[in-house]
Amino acid sequence: MSKDKELGLCPLDELLPYTMHMMETMWSYDEEKQKKVIKLEDERMARLLKKKLQDDYASI
């Protein structure tokens, strides 16, 4: 499995339908729930980036 797939990264054409669905879902939430979902997603992405940077640094 490639490192990109392992980290959940994929080509834009695969990501776009999912992103549009998520945006539509987010718009249906009230403002507090939107903030909570965004915060959780930001934390998840930060963990993935930290892992990728650690792996990249370890491979040097």
Nearest to 9 by CA among 37, 40, 60, 51: 51
The distance of Cα 48 from the centroid of its chain, to the nearest Å, equals: 8
Helices 31-58, 12-28: crossing angle, 10 deg rounding:
150
Per-residue pLDDT band for 47 (boundaries 50, 70, 90) equals: very high
Asked if residue 49 has pLDDT above 60, the reply is yes
pTM beyond 0.75: the answer is no
Give the span between the Cα atoms of 60 and 45, in whole angstroms.
23
Domain ranges across the chain: 12-58
Q: Token match 């990501």: residue? A: 15
pLDDT tens digits, residue range 4-43? 656 666 676 777 777 787 788 888 889 999 899 889 889 9
Give the span between the Cα atoms of 44 and 17, in whole angstroms.
20
